Structure 1
Amino acid sequence: MDDDYRIVEGPPPLDDYLRLRRDSGLTPVRPDQGAGAISGSWSACHVVAADGAPVAMGRVLGDGGWYFHIADIATDPAHQRRGLGRRVLEWLIADIRTRAPEGAYVSLIGDPPGQRLYRSLGLDDVAPSLGMAAVLR
C-alpha cells in the first residue's frame, strides 16, 4: 500500500459500505442490513484514498471468546491490485491476535478471487467440512 492510502480503524460510513459491497461484486444489501452489519461488527477497518474517499474495507464478527469470522473484504475496482485488500486483512488478523484470547478460531468464506490472498496469510481450507449458507426470505 503506497502513501496515497491510509488505513482507518472502524467501518466506513454506511453509504460507502453499501457502495463498496456493490461495486466490488459482493452481494448488494439494503441500508437497514448494512447498518446492522456495521453496528454488529466486533472489529472493522477501512482504507481511504488521498482525497479521503473510502476505497477498501473489511470487518470481523466475533463473540470475543474464541470465534471470529472475517467478512466484507471489498476494494473499489478503481483501486484494486494495489495491496489494499491484503492490508485490510492483515490489520484485521492483527487486531484479532491482539485482543482475542489465545486459541481463537478465525474463519472466512473465501470466494475464488480472494482465495490465493487468504491462503498466503495463513488461512486454510476447512476440508472435509463444507461451508453452508441460506438466504432467509
Structure 2
Amino acid sequence: MEYRIEKRTPTVSEFNSLRQLAGWPRFEESRAKKGLDNSLFSVCIMDQTNTLAGFGRIVGDGAIYLHISDVIVHPGHQRKGIGKMIMTELLAWADEAAGENTNIGLMCSKGREKFYAELGFIERPNENFGAGMIMIKR
C-alpha cells in the first residue's frame, strides 16, 4: 500500500478516531481543537482510501523546548514504516526550528523505546538525567 504525507493538522474527528483505535482516550471536541490548533507542526499520513493511517505533532515554545506528541499509527497500518515516516517529518521540522541546545523531548509507549533510540533519543534515567515525571489530570 502507498501512503501520502500531508503536512497538516488532522481534524478533531480524525484525531479522536485514531486515538480511540489505538486504545487512547478521546478528548472533548473543544479541548481537542484547542490543543491541535496550538501545535507548532503536524503531519498526517494518509492511506490510498484517504483515511488517516498515522499522525504526529510538535508542541512547545518553538525555540528552546520542542515536544513530540501524539505519534499514533492506526493498528491496521502498523509495522509498515509509518511511524518512521512521521518521525522523519517531525525531526526535519525540528531541525529547521531548533537552535543549539534545543531540548527535543517525547514520552513513548512502553516497548517503543528502541524505535526512538534508533532515531537518536536517549532513555531516562541515565547518568546525567533523572527519570522525569508527568501528571495526568483526571
Provide TM-score, normalisation by structure 2. Answer: 0.90
Distance between the aligned counterparts of 1:16 and 1:42, measured in 2? 18
Deviation at 1:33, TM superposition (A): 2.2
Q: Deviations over 1:63-105 (max 9, x none)?
A: 0111000000001101111010111011101100012223211
Whether the 8 Å contact between 1:41 and 1:61 is mirrored in structure 2 is yes
Q: Does 1:30 align with 2:25?
A: no
RMSD of aligned Cα (Å):
1.5
> Which amino acid in structure 2 is aligned with residue 14 of structure 1?
V
Q: Deviations over 1:30-83 (max 9, x none)?
A: 222211221111111010001111110000012011100000000110111101
Paired position in structure 2 for 1:103: 101
Paired position in structure 1 for 2:73: 75
Paired position in structure 2 for 1:47: 45
Provide TM-score, normalisation by structure 1. Answer: 0.90
Paired position in structure 1 for 2:130: 129
Paired-residue identity, %:
25
Aligned residues: 135
Q: Secondary structure at the match of 2:44?
A: strand
Any gaps of 5 or more consecutive residues in structure 2?
none
Runs of 4 or more, structure 1, over 6 Å off, are none
